[in-house]
Structure 1
């Protein structure tokens, strides 16, 4: 790349972008935020004023047509994804796609095909791959025979259906459920720590009609080397998980627990204590450097790999709609 700033555009300027990617990009040396785009004009004006960006658009295609860009940060919710990322890839614009990448597997495959055909550098916002605690868990498990992975997220976030949903994040059909947003995370970190992909998926939801979203969601996986995995999301307990780890990974001879972002225990012994770390900044820095240098090898994942973390959740969601039918993940991808 010539000796000039990396010119980026951010597509989606809501609260999440304003709290993470926009401040990160504004502080990384050698980056110019050239343009912003959002259909919400209030969010667009707020972000433009806060980060000093003069050029704004409510039409992403118009932005791609008008601007000379090196990279696009696509931060819009999964339900709002269309062909914008495809158009960017066809123009040779490098792509950062926040997770979840899409709510429809077919669309994610079309985007992936465009990324590969265009030869652009890509990544998906699976930021925790950059966090040292997960890298250490991966190292500790490298010589272990993993038997079972258990992930749990316990919270109290019921949304009574008597009150109309005020945002997409309260609407199941738009992906406003923890098993979708956090499920792709948990699936990706299961893959990252164990080195195994998901072969088969099954899921069940408990969704009383008086609530907008399920009170419990349980996903079950068979992994590629024979291990099993469960992802559990409960939204009825205000006390949370207590001292239980987010991840407990059983291996032949013991168990490894990842306690939040604080520590790792192996067989109840603390073997790693984490320092404060900002994975959003680390990933944004890595992607900027990959674009600047033309070296995708410094990234922890690309769009194509990210399909393997998205597909099991979409397959499980499909399973839940069909009363828990077992879904072959590879076939689910192929037939989308």
Structure 2
């Protein structure tokens, strides 16, 4: 009996020790998480500012918005199968003068409390949009933007509130309208062919650019993301003939526009033709928008059996009728 009592006592104290170790481990996990949350909470919020970059030898300025938000995550499970909590920092970044895919996603974010450096990135495995800066007393300094195409500019910003600005489909639609307002409209002018038959050396044409919203949702993946799908639709039309006189006189396709540089491109095919025939009647154009003047320095148009015509187009924006 004495032996059994001693053995039972050993098991009893061993069980208490395991429970205490488990509780201590849990407390340490919670303390580490609380320390991280307190550290990240100091920099959480919305920062607004301005940046600059050089395009074609000319310095261009742009506005930026950066948001930092504390989020809850897990580093795995402990020996008891419970999640090990850890607070993380999520980032959002966008230039407000352009619209990019990264405007609507959360960046992975690292923050060093010692020197105040932050880094926002999408994926370390391949080049993408990356943002870095230092946080000094509520200010973002030494900001740098890197794009898949290379260096995107420098910026500074100031903390304006201690939470991330809420985004909605309606607010994003309004921002997109403002960004693309300079290119939307009808541009009418002359197409000048550099190599063609005499009858095609020049004719009046127009390009109509419309902004179309395809679908919108306030929360496509997470409550912090806003989905707005849109496109710039271009309609190219010869004014001296119609589609009954010349096949492919009207072409439709996608327009791209960079508000900062003014660069514009258009690629289209006749909407009335079957898919297998559109390659014979394609048009592609590259140029620039300067004020209300659209200038395509390179235009290549395939005209079926009549061959390919290359040239340029210069068109003035027609005032919209009120």
TM-score between both structures, scaled by the size of structure 2? 0.21
Q: TM-score if structure 1 supplies the norm length?
A: 0.21
Structure with the greater alpha carbon radius of gyration: 2
Higher relative strand content: 2
Higher relative contact order (CA 8 A, sep 6+): 1
Structure with bigger helix share is 1
